[in-house]
Amino acid sequence: MATAQKSHSSRKSSGALSTQERNKVDDSKFAFPDQRKEPLENASHVRNAIARFDQVKDVSDDDREKAFRRIKTAAKKFGVEMKETNWKQLGKQPHTANSSN
């Protein structure tokens, strides 16, 4: 007897991208496109990019400035409020624990 399978997206319920989905995202949709760090595909991703901004390693101040502009643009697009007006308000050195580093 055949059973119907539930149709579901490969996207996790948390809004996280699967590896396959992440690989399909255009470089320009990342806060740090050269490193493909911090995708900006929706409001949840924008909030994550803001929260994790200081955890991104091996990027220049210029990369951070450009990433901040991309995040601000995406925040506006997805209705995410940002009080920060400069990337330095988000931090340059990690100040939060990140066990993956």
Instruction: Tell me if residue 75 falls in helix, strand or coil.
Output: helix
pTM of this structure? 0.73
Answer whether 92's CB lies under 8 Å from 61's CB. yes
- Report the 3 state secondary structure along 29-62: HEEECCCCEEECCCHHHHHHHHHHHHHCCCCCHH
Q: What pLDDT digit, counting tens, does each position of 72-98 carry?
A: 999 999 999 999 999 999 876 554 444
User: Over its length of 101 residues, how does the chain's per-residue pLDDT go in tens digits?
Assistant: 444 443 334 444 456 778 888 788 888 999 999 999 999 999 999 999 999 999 999 999 999 999 999 999 999 999 999 999 999 998 765 544 444 44
Torsion, Cα 56 31 44 7, to 10 degrees, reads -110
